[in-house]
Amino acid sequence: MSVGIDDISFYTSNYYLDLKSLADVHNIEKDKFYQGIGQEKMGIVAADEDVVTMAANAALPLLKDVDPHSISTVMFATETGIDQSKAAGIFVHGLLGLPNRCRVVELKQACYSATAAIQMACAMVARDPARKILVIAADIARYDLNSSGEATQGCGAAAMLISANPRLLKIHPESGNYTEDVMDFWRPNYRSTALVDGKYSTKIYLKSLKQAWLHYQDVGGVEFEQIDHLCYHLPFTRMAEKSQSQLARVTKTGRDAEQLNAMIEPSLSYNRLIGNSYTASMYIGLISLLDNAKEDLSGKRVGFFSYGSGCVAEFFTGTVVDGYEEHLHRDLHSKLLNNRRELSYPEYLDLYHFEYPTDGGEHQFPEQTQGQFRLAGINQHKRIYNAR
Ligand code: CAA
C-alpha cells in the first residue's frame, strides 16, 4: 500500500501589490525584485481575511468528492497564529462542516510544520488506511515597511488530503532531517511582523539543505540523478536557484545549469505571483509543478526540501501517480490568480496598517474578499466567520 497526497489545492487573497510599485516608491530598479529575488507580485490579505478564511477556501475544492466522515483529523500548520490557546483549524472545521468525530490540532515550527503534519498524517494513514487526513498550511508573511524583507511578503494557504493509494503523489518513507538552535528569523508574541537576519537566514537555509540531504543519503535515499524535479521552500523564488547550485556542489552532479533549472522552473510560477506564504509555500510550489509542467509527470520522482527558520529542515521525495492530471484544480488556480486586483501603493499601506480592534467591543469588517469564507468581524474578543 502506498500513502501520500490524494488531492491538493491552494488559495490566496484576491489583492496583490506589483513589486514594481514598491521599487518605484523606494527608487530602486524593479529588476532587483523581478530578477534579483525572483518575485513579481505579492498577495496582500484584505481586512476580512486571515489564515482561517484562506485555509477554508483552500480546502473547499477537496471536499467536493470525498466523504467528510472519512476525514479523521485536521492538521493546521501555521506561524500566523490567531489565538494562544484555540487551534485555528477548529474554525476551519466548523466552516467546512466537518463531522464532530474528527480531531483538530495546530502545528508550529516556522515554515516547516506542514511537512511534520504530512509525515504524521502518513503514519496515521498507514495505521488505518480507511482514514483520510486533511493537512492545511496557511500563512501571512509580514515584515516591517522599508525593511529588506518587505518585498518578500505574501499570503496563501495550501490544503492536502493524505490517504492510502493516493491519486497524485506517493510519499516515500526515507527522509533526512536537520535541526539547529539559531535566530535567523523569528516573531515574538508581542509583534505582528517578523524579525529577520536576512543574509544569515539564507546561509542557514543552504547549510540545512546540505545537512538534510546528507542525512537523507545516510537513511538510504535515492541519488540526485534519480530525482526529476525539486520543490524547495520558497521565501522568494531565487532561493530555489541558490539551492540547486548548493545541491549540485554537494552531490557533484553531472547535470548542467540548463538541466538544473528545468528541474525547478515549473514549481516557481505561482510563488512568483503570490510571494512567501511560509508553511504553504513549498506545497504551492508542488501545485505549480503539477499544474504547469510541460511534460507528463507520471512516474517522475520529486524531491522536497522543507525549511523552517529557527531551524528545522527536511528532505524527502515522492513519485507522481499515473493519471494525476485528471485530479488537478488547474482551472480554479488560474482563475484565482487571473482575477486578482492590483493595489496602488497607498491602498497597500491602508491594508498593511489595518489592525484588529482589541477593546472587546463589537466590530464589523468591510466586505473586501471575493473568497467563499470571510472574517465578518470581532465581538467580545471572538472572531466571527461566515460563508457567502
Ligand atoms: N537587477 C538584477 N538583480 C539585482 C539588481 C538589479 N537591478 N539589484 C540587486 N540585484 C540582486 C543582487 O545582486 C542579489 O543577488 P544575489 O542574491 O545573487 O547576490 C539579489 O538581487 C538580492 O539583492 P540584495 O542581496 O541586495 O537584497 P537585500 O539585502 O535587499 O535582501 C534578502 C535579500 C536578505 C533575502 C531579503 O529579501 C530578506 O531579508 N528576506 C526575508 C528573509 C528571507 O526570505 N530569508 C530566506 C531564508 S529564511 C526562510 O526561508 C524562512 C522564511 O520563509 C522567511
Q: Say if residue 208's pLDDT is above 90.
A: yes
State the DSSP code for 278: G
Nearest CA to ligand 1 atom 39: 198
Q: What is the pTM of this model?
A: 0.98
Q: Which of the four pLDDT bands, split at 50, 70 and 90, describes residue 265? A: very high
* DSSP label at residue 33: I
| pLDDT for the residue 304 | 99
According to DSSP, residue 343 is labeled P
Mean pLDDT for all residues in the chain: 98
- Closest atom of ligand 1 relative to the 202 alpha carbon: 47
Nearest CA to ligand 1 atom 13: 36
Q: List the grid coordinates of 91.
A: 474554525
| Torsion-angle region of 222 (φ positive above 0: left; ψ -120 to 50: alpha; else: beta) | beta
What is the tens place of the pLDDT at every residue in 331-376? 999 999 999 999 999 999 999 999 999 999 999 999 999 999 999 9
What contacts 24+ positions apart, CB below 8 Å, involve 263-269?
263/227, 263/228, 263/229, 263/230, 264/229, 264/230, 264/231, 264/232, 264/240, 266/229, 266/292, 266/293, 266/294, 267/229, 267/230, 267/231, 267/232, 267/234, 267/240, 268/38, 268/234, 268/237, 268/240
216 and 176 in contact (C-beta within 8 Å)?
yes
Q: What is the pLDDT of residues 121-171, one digit of tens each?
A: 999 999 999 999 999 999 999 999 999 999 999 999 999 999 999 999 999
Ligand 1 atom at minimal distance to the Cα of residue 235:
53
Catalytic site positions:
79, 111, 233
**Chain segment 76-108, per-residue pLDDT in tens:** 999 999 999 999 999 999 999 999 999 999 999
Given this model, what pLDDT does residue 294 score?
A: 96
Q: Is the pLDDT of residue 65 over 90?
A: no
| pLDDT tens sequence across 6-16 | 999 999 999 99
Over residues 168-189, the pLDDT tens digits come to: 999 999 999 999 999 999 999 9
List, for residues 212-254, the tens digit of each pLDDT value: 999 999 999 999 999 999 999 999 999 999 999 999 999 999 9
Going by alpha carbons, the residue nearest to atom 31 of ligand 1 is: 148
Ligand 1 atom having least distance to the Cα of 29: 7
User: Is the CB of residue 36 below 6 angstroms from any atom belonging to ligand 1?
Assistant: yes
The three cell numbers of residue 220 are: 538510504
Cα gap 379→381, rounded to integer Å: 5
| pLDDT 10s digits, 274-292 | 999 999 999 999 999 999 9
Query: Which residue has its alpha carbon closest to ligand 1 atom 52?
Result: 235
| Percent of the chain surpassing pLDDT 70 | 100
Please tell me if the CB atom of residue 185 comes closer than 6 angstroms to any atom of ligand 1.
yes
Confidence of residue 112 (pLDDT cuts 50, 70, 90): very high
